[in-house]
Structure 1
Amino acid sequence: MTTLFLMVGLPEAGKTTRARQLAAEHGALRLTPDDWMIPLFGEAEADGKRDVLEGRMLWLALEAVKLGTNVVVDYGCWSRHERSAIRWLVEAEEACFRMVYLPVDDETQRARIAHRWATTPEETFSMSEADILHGRAHFEEPDAAELEGHEVEVSGPPPGWVGWREWAAARWPSFA
């Protein structure tokens, strides 16, 4: 069965390294926004362009799944709603969804950020102390039910939304 692997975790958790391994093991298309943001815009966020890029990548991921191609989506997906929407969209295409969560403790994350910036600054973005704290404060760690695919949110979108497709189009403007 065609599978979409969703990488989940904070910066420097090892998501992209694991995404590369999964892509090689499963002959999968790997979609990593950081690989595009630096060459196209020279920065991580670029005035909302990251959300636009992620929306088109999500659209492309679903098109690939429809064609029978495995995909690795390397976004980080900090919010439970993002993960639930992607799970629903993948399963609506009758494909397999597999979340790959890579936790990272504070000390390891900071060491990896410093090492990456010192060794390959052209391949990364600088992260301030405020950026690290913001990420940790806003990351919704997946619980056991979500990791096992039994979370309640998959049954329906947040209140006020007709469906997950509509929610996803609002979250990632270019997805629609």
Structure 2
Amino acid sequence: MILMVGLPGAGKTTRARQLAAAHRALRLTPDHWMIPLFGEPMADGKRFVLEGRLLTIALQALRLGTSVVLDYGLWGRDERSALRWLARSAGAASQVVYLPVDTDTQLARIAHRQATAPHQTFPMSAADVDRWREQFQVPDAAELDGGEIPGPPPGWPDWAQWAAEHWPTCTDS
């Protein structure tokens, strides 16, 4: 399972398409579902519901021997750790692919996307980008090298329960 990590405008979807073709992998991209279904990126928490359903499909595909590219963004270390753990529990390896982007390039790409494909994107302001950059947790060397998966946050007995809470529709069956 390949985990695409980066902010909007980093080039995740372009790279995810390349990796999916190279690995004959199933590419799962919530953004391609959110606009047609709900017309907005989060839709009162529905994004995590959708992501959970897509993760269920991803885990089934992994168990069938099909590679998967998750084009989610994955801003948080806990999300990435949970997904690495879920991939391992499905008998698959995982790889974190991080695409850093400087602010000027990011804003230019977002503006281009909004100008050329407004029906396929969400409005994003410079203030949004600044706020998101503060929230984003850059992957560390252990994540990028496929190192040890850390334990879940305090209060969680394991990553399966953390994932079930974060992505309420992700069923591991």
TM range (shorter): over 0.9
1:52 matched to 2:49: yes
Cα drift, residue 64 of structure 1: 0.5
The CA deviation string for residues 97-124 of structure 1, in whole angstroms up to 9 with x for no partner, is 0111100001100010111111111111
1:34 matched to 2:28: no
Amino acid at match of 2:146: G
Partner of 2:122: 125
153, 164, 172: which is aligned to 1:169?
164
The CA deviation string for residues 34-73 of structure 1, in whole angstroms up to 9 with x for no partner, is 1101111111111111010001111110111001111000
Cα drift, residue 155 of structure 1: 4.0
CA distance in 2, matches of 1:129, 1:64: 38
**2:62–2:68 contact (8 Å) kept in structure 1:** yes
SS at match of 1:46: coil
Amino acid at match of 2:145: E
**2:41–2:122 contact (8 Å) kept in structure 1:** yes
Q: What TM-score do the two structures reach when normalised by structure 2?
A: 0.95
CA distance in 1, matches of 2:106, 2:126: 12
**2:4–2:98 contact (8 Å) kept in structure 1:** yes
Moved beyond 6 Å, runs of 4+ = none
Cα drift, residue 130 of structure 1: 2.6
CA distance in 2, matches of 1:130, 1:45: 18
Partner of 1:98: 95
Cα drift, residue 129 of structure 1: 2.4
1:159 matched to 2:154: yes
Amino acid at match of 2:70: V
RMSD over aligned Cα atoms: 1.0
Partner of 1:43: 40
For these two proteins, the number of residue pairs brought into alignment is: 171
SS at match of 2:65: coil
Cα drift, residue 92 of structure 1: 1.4
Amino acid at match of 2:57: L
SS at match of 1:95: coil
Partner of 2:58: 61
Partner of 1:147: 144
